[in-house]
Chain A
Amino acid sequence: MKKGHLIGLGIIAVAIVIIITSIGDASTYESFQTAKAMKLRGEEKPIHVVGELKKSMTGIVEGIEVNPDKTSFYFVMVDSDGTEQKVFYNEPVPADFARAEQVVVIGAYKTDELFVADKILMKCPSKYQETEVSNAGI
């Protein structure tokens, strides 16, 4: 066998390892229901859940409880299926959290009742849509 072939095989082997770990380490998008099912099956892998913050009838965000030392908090999130879930985040409340249009939490169920987020991504209202021109000028 020529050396070139050996190198070629080596490259292919490394590439395959990369592909397999990428797929293996890739997270998934779940709903709270499927995420809870995963927890019950004993899968602890962090997953992504997309949803919104729970809002009252008047459109005010409710259910944010900040711990007394202000370094962590709880909130209630509603996923795209409409399931409500209490979520804990071990970080201070991110800036303009309450204004987020869409929230992605990355984490897993800690208990049957509580979802713990390791990371939160927020989609805030884009500057373009939000600004009301009439308020800005007059």
Chain B
Amino acid sequence: MINTFVGNLGHFSVILAFVSALVSAFAYYQYTTVSELEKPNWRRFSRISFYIHSVASISIAISLFEIIYSHRFEYFYAYSHSSKALPVHYMISSFWEGQEGAFILWIVWNVVLGLILIHTNKFWEGPVMLVFALVQAFLVSMILGVVIGDLKIGSSPFILLRDAVSAPVFSINPEFVPEDGTGLNPLLQNIWMVIHPPTLFLGYASTLVPFAFLMGGLWTKKYSEWVRPALPWAQFSAMILGMGIIMGAYWAYVTLNFGGYWNWDPVENAVYVPWLILVAAIHTMITFKKSSTALKSSIVLVIASFILVLYATFLVRSGVLGDSSVHSFTDLGLSGQLLIYMLFFLFVAIFLAAKNWKNIPTSEKEASVYSREFWIFIGATTLALMAFQVILPTSIPVWNALVESFGGISNMAPPADQVGFYTKFQLWFAVALALLTAVGQFFWWNKMDGKKLREALAMPYVVSVIISAGIIVLGKVYDLSYIVVVLAGTFTIVANATILFKLLKKSTFKLAGGSLAHIGLGMILIGVMFSSGYSEIISYNMSGLTYSNSWEDELNKEHVLLWINKPTQIKDYTAVYKGRQKKLEGVPGYVSVNLLEPTGNVNEAIALDDIVVRGRTYHQKGDKVGIVLEENDYFRIDYFKDEEFQFTLNPMSQYNVNMGLISSPDSRRFVNKDLYTFVSALNDFDDPEWRDDEFYEVSPGETFFIADFVTTFEGGEVVEELDGMVLKEGDVAVKANLVIQDFGVEKRLQPIFIIRGNQLGKIPAIDNELGIKVEVENIVPESNKFSFKVNRYQKDYVVLKAIIKPQINVLWAGTIIMLIGFCVAIYRRYDEFSKMRDKGLE
């Protein structure tokens, strides 16, 4: 039965949200412009309309979640993004897997931020909320799903499957509801993907706040007052956006098999660039608050950060990146709408800024080299250049599209070696930043001249040189450019730590945000240098196989083939692939597939033996057990060093009907490095092509060879009972016991031979891991010999890539310290703002 109520409710909410956003925009415009006498009325009206908008927006989100949660597969969104097997926390990921869900998430965050702003501001409510309401109108229009003639406005998540897809089944039965959905992209079935998108979208949403304050300021001619309320929000936004980026990087590191946390993919670049600009904006805003300079640069940077977020959305969601990104986003036909959204705000911002440019106060005096303004300005410029260097090549597909839309031909492609290309600039910019932060912080807290500066910097300089020397020797950093990175990184850590201690001694923790964030930067720099610059692939193929092409042998094979049970050398380790495993509900760790027999139902199997983990029996033989996502296979690989067992890693792969093989790494975490491994190819034994028959005639007790395997035929026994088959009176069933040895692993194969009257029945025994199928071909009573028919396939294997990533924990620790620094700074600036507001000054 098709439930149309939820969908209609959702769609109605979308329309209500759209209309109420427009109404509140109008109302807030009135509220800001009317005379004092009329203000209270307009304020009440504006607030009510924004509240209605808020309720409608939240109702959109609830309706969509209800569709997913209740498995209403009659809706296209639930059908294409969810399935019955998904646990609840992944249903949350399903919610924003589709673009419509992502827009809803963005809308809801804006509502939350808007409600907070209404209740924390006095003067600013009108102009700021006008900008908010306009942005909301644009965002809601993305999911409007209204078609007027050929014009399609928005893509609604509430359309029914039968309206979205033309399948013959719907013309037979319009009420048809699929049994199950197509499921969630397996790459997104990760706990980081549950929390990364909301964080990132909160980051996106919050860039609107400083922008809205700026627009409000320009509009109401408060050219400099907007900075105070906007600053804590800009910091909040940079903190959240930074956290979102780091979570994304971490997700890529633990889930994807790209081999790292950052790949300079267009999608990654698109969020990195606004973040850089936002950080630059924060610095110029702080300078402005201290010394009334850099207001114009702050204005430009705040506008740029907001527009760049919209540009990022356009890049990622318009399909323009097409074949230059590994992340695929389908084009929902929203490109035009996204473009209008971006250009509208770009135009309004430039118009307001240009109109008021002459009236914006500037400081005429030239900044001295010994002033903090000078150094901060250089720092902000460096950040802006970093952003420019990244956004330029990332925009090549846009350039091509632009040229082609004017009838030209452009065949420019992004750089072939993205990592190398971006690193050669970003590395040196980052070194410059590290040095600037070290020097800049001293200027910040003290009045400086040349002599004082030398005195102040001497001590941190000497200390950091000594520490760097230690790092260089211990870490064997002999590359000149990496030595410079270590020096710059340590210098900024030491210099900022010096400042931090002074601040903590003299005053409160409140002022420590800057130095903490900069210490984080230094650690990130050193962590990135080690984990990327010195990452070492250890899975070189040492099989010694040669090919017909001699040049091919010169290429490094970066993957190693592990046959099951066969010890293989991987640098210092000996690795042994021990077979496939599954994860069971309520059982810790993983369980070998040899103990499980599928029942045919989703995520269900029967235990072939007791399931015992660390001495505790979780399931008895014959129990029905629940599998956590049955498509997931975990490949058990044991690592030995000098014959001694070290640890086990279980890299995962998922065979997904829609996406083929998906591989997820498993890493061994050490304090000073990670051993990062993933499966890059595996054996597919669903439907093996068995090789030609081989026949063996053996007596009980005899040992013989099947290929390389030492096989012992222990003998045959007459059995009275067979699983899954009823024996009749007069039937004879003989079970042959074969024991096959493979690198110390014993496998028991028991093919069965049945005689019923004149007929013969043969039940073969198959071992997928060894790739062997054995049948009892005949029993020769005269010579007491059994004749076996053997077919072979290949043994099970995995192709593995293993990489050592040194000091990656320094990177993660650095990001956390930087985020803490941001939080401290937000607290301080918000405190300043609220004190001023409560005095009635703002």
Contacts and interface: CB of A to CB of B under 8 A. Distances in A.
B42 to A, nearest CB: 45
B392 A19 contact: yes
B555 A91 contact: no
Contacts, number: 155
B681 A137 contact: no
20 contacts: A7-B381, A25-B415, A46-B416, A47-B416, A50-B323, A67-B545, A71-B559, A90-B557, A90-B558, A92-B559, A96-B661, A106-B413, A118-B416, A124-B328, A124-B660, A127-B185, A133-B79, A137-B177, A138-B169, A138-B179
A133 B178 contact: yes
A70 B681 CA distance: 8
Given A27-B415, A71-B560, A136-B178, A95 B661 contact: yes
A130 B658 contact: yes
Nearest to B560: A71
B168 A71 contact: no
A107 B177 CA distance: 47
Given A26-B396, A119-B416, A133-B161, 16 more contacts: A2-B366, A3-B369, A18-B385, A22-B392, A28-B412, A30-B411, A47-B413, A50-B323, A69-B561, A92-B559, A95-B662, A102-B323, A124-B659, A134-B167, A136-B179, A137-B169
A128 B663 contact: no
B388 A25 contact: no
A128 B169 contact: no
A15 B412 CA distance: 20
Contact of B552 (A14, A72, A130, A134): A72
A37 interface: no
B389 A26 contact: no
A56 interface: no
B551 interface: yes
A71 B412 contact: no
A22 B560 contact: no
Given A71-B560, A92-B559, A131 B323 contact: no
B651 to A, nearest CB: 14
B414 interface: yes
A123 B328 contact: yes
A88 B552 contact: yes
B35 interface: no
A48 interface: yes
Nearest to A88: B552
B797 A70 contact: yes
Interface of A: 2-4, 7, 11, 14-15, 18-19, 21-22, 25-30, 45-48, 50, 67-72, 88, 90-93, 95-96, 99, 102, 104, 106-107, 110, 118-119, 121, 123-124, 126-128, 130-134, 136-138
Contact of A69 (B179, B543, B659): B543
A28 B413 contact: yes
A22 B547 CA distance: 38
A136 B414 CA distance: 39
B417 interface: yes
Contacts of B557: 69, 71-72, 90
A93 B425 CA distance: 33
A29 B413 contact: yes
Contact of A127 (B80, B324, B561): B80
- Counting chain B residues whose Cβ lies within 8 A of the other chain, the interface size class is 35 or more
A60 to B, nearest CB: 15
Contact of B658 (A14, A68, A104, A127): A127
A134 B663 CA distance: 29
B561 A71 contact: yes
A132 B412 CA distance: 37
Contacts of B170: 133
Contacts of B413: 26-29, 47-48, 106
Interface string B364-392: 00110100000001100100010011001
B168 A134 contact: yes
A104 B397 CA distance: 14
B421 interface: yes
Contacts of B179: 136-138
A121 B389 CA distance: 24
Contact of A18 (B425, B658, B661): B425
Contacts of B330: 126, 128
Contacts of A46: 416-417
Contacts of B414: 26-27
B165 interface: yes
A7 B366 contact: no
B176 interface: yes
Contacts of A123: 323, 328
A45 B415 CA distance: 10
Contacts of B161: 133
B224 interface: no
A67 B776 CA distance: 35
B176 A137 contact: yes
Given A18-B425, A128-B80, A11 B412 contact: no
B389 A18 contact: yes
Contacts of B660: 95-96, 99, 124
Contacts of A90: 552, 555-558
B232 interface: no
A130 B659 CA distance: 11
Nearest to A114: B549
A87 B692 CA distance: 32
Given A14-B385, A46-B416, A119-B416, A91 B392 contact: no
Given A27-B413, A27-B416, A4 B169 contact: no
Interface in B306-341: 323-324, 326, 328, 330
B393 interface: yes
A27 B418 CA distance: 10
A131 B658 contact: yes
Contacts of A136: 178-180, 182
Interface string B637-674: 00000000000000000000011111100000000000
